[in-house]
Amino acid sequence: MKVKFIWLKLKDCVILHGMKCLARLSYLVLFTISGFLVFGQKDEITCKEVILKSLKTIDEVKSLKYHLKITERGKKGFNFYESSVKFQKKPRKIYLYIKGIEVLWVEGKNKGKALVKPNSFPYFNLNLDPLGDLMRQDQHHTLNEMGYDYFANIISYSVKKIGDNFDDVFSLHGEAKVNNRLCYKIIIDNKDFSYVDYKIGPNESITSIARKLNVCEYMILEKNKKFKDYFDILTPGEVIKVPTWYCRKVEMYIDKFYFLPISIKIDDDKGLFEEYNYFFLQVNPKFEDAEFTKEYKDYDF
């Protein structure tokens, strides 16, 4: 009996010691995890980090495939367009499908013209200047602005222009699900947006002035009623009105996975100026060489 009693006491001590060790181990694990959460966790991403990462991602894009919905304010109200897009950056290649209309443009081919298959009279393929009136009509942009690079240049210029006042213009407003994608919501608020006088220099055009100032040429055309289209001859020394920024306000949603804009809503001093929404975005898809030729099996040129 005495031996048995000693064994039970010893067993109890072992169990008690084991429980104490387990308790200490649990406390150590809990303390370690808590310490990691407190000291090891990265701070939430900032607005500037989102913008800079997006600009870097755009620069690294090689190709894109997406469906684009466009809203643009025109001369007689709002114009609405939809297109399916294949885009390759270098060499630059573009294919568009717009409700039966097909457009193919390849850098260095077809004498710089876009091959267009219309969905109405004259019912045969046309070779058109991408900057010409027939292709541009009442649209804000041309094939030259397809992809994200044009918009990225505007944003990059704005970031440099405001310098240390970034947080006075750019702000992050949490997350939102837009076009079926989880995104960061960014607001760009150019409170000092206005129109100022600009003296035309030698050999300048509406488009060259817009590129020089990083603003939209359509906005210049709209503000200066004496011009009928982009090809009007400008007289050196003549004074016109130009915007101080590309726009008054931007509401932009940047995809959390791709870090590319999924939705861009742009206002000027009158309200909505243009809006672009991207769907079914594919980043850096592999295209066959034939996909940028008129003979491709899925096209109807």
The answer to whether residue 238 is domain-embedded is no
Looking at 1-10, 45-54, 77-86, 227-236, which range is the least confident one? 1-10
Same domain, residue pair 34 and 71: no
Asked if residue 178 is part of any domain, the answer here is yes
pLDDT tens figures, 268-300: 999 999 999 999 999 999 999 999 999 999 999
Give the integer Cα–Cα distance in Å for 163 and 131: 34
Residue the block writes with tokens 């030259």: 144
Count of domains forming the chain: 2
pTM of the model: 0.83
The answer on 162 and 18 residing in a single domain is no
Specify if 284 maps to a domain: yes
Q: Nearest to residue 275, comparing CAs of 141, 76, 100?
A: 141
CA distances to 157, 171, 275 from 272, in Å: 22, 20, 8
- What are the residues facing 197 on neighbouring strands? 241
Are residue 73 and residue 24 in the same domain, yes or no? no
Cβ atoms of 223 and 241 closer than 8 Å: yes
Average pLDDT over residues 162-184: 97
Q: Answer yes or no: is 217 within a domain.
A: no
- Per the CB < 8 A criterion, the answer to whether 99 and 89 are in contact is no
Q: Is residue 125 part of a domain?
A: yes
Q: Are residues 101 and 139 in the same domain?
A: yes
Domain membership of residue 216 (yes or no) is no
Q: Are residues 29 and 56 located together in one domain of the fold?
A: no
Residues 178 and 270 in one domain: yes
3 shares its domain with 113? no
- pLDDT tens string 18-50: 444 434 434 333 333 344 333 444 458 999 999
* 102 and 249 housed in the same domain: yes
pLDDT of 5 above 60: no
Residue 94 falls within a domain, yes or no?
yes
Residues 149 and 131 in one domain: yes
Q: Which domain holds residue 8?
A: 1-41
* CB contact at 8 A, 68 and 276: yes
Mean pLDDT to the nearest integer, 143-151: 95
For 195-241, write each residue's pLDDT tens digit: 999 999 999 999 999 999 999 999 999 999 999 888 888 999 999 99
Residues 111, 254 within the same domain: yes
Instruction: Identify whether 257 is part of a domain.
Output: yes
| Residue 243 confidence (pLDDT) | 98
DSSP string across 216-278: -HHHHHHH-TT--STTPPPPTT-EEEEESSS-SEEEEEEETTT-SEEEEEEEETTEEEEEEEE
Distance CA 81, CA 183 (A): 24
Helices vs strands, H then E, count in the chain? 7, 13
- H/E run at residue 3: helix 2-35
CATH number at residue 287: 2.50.20.20
Asked whether the predicted pLDDT for residue 9 surpasses 70, the reply is no
Together in a domain, 148 and 116: yes
pLDDT tens-digit profile of 107-132?
999 999 999 999 888 889 999 999 99
* Residue 176 vs residue 39, higher pLDDT: 176
Averaged pLDDT of the chain: 88
Q: Are residues 106 and 73 in the same domain?
A: yes
For the record, the structure tokens of 183 come out as 């995104």
Q: According to the model, what pLDDT value does residue 43 have?
A: 55
Please return the burial class of 36, using the count of CB atoms within 10 Å of its CB with bins 0-12, 13-18 and 19+.
Answer: exposed
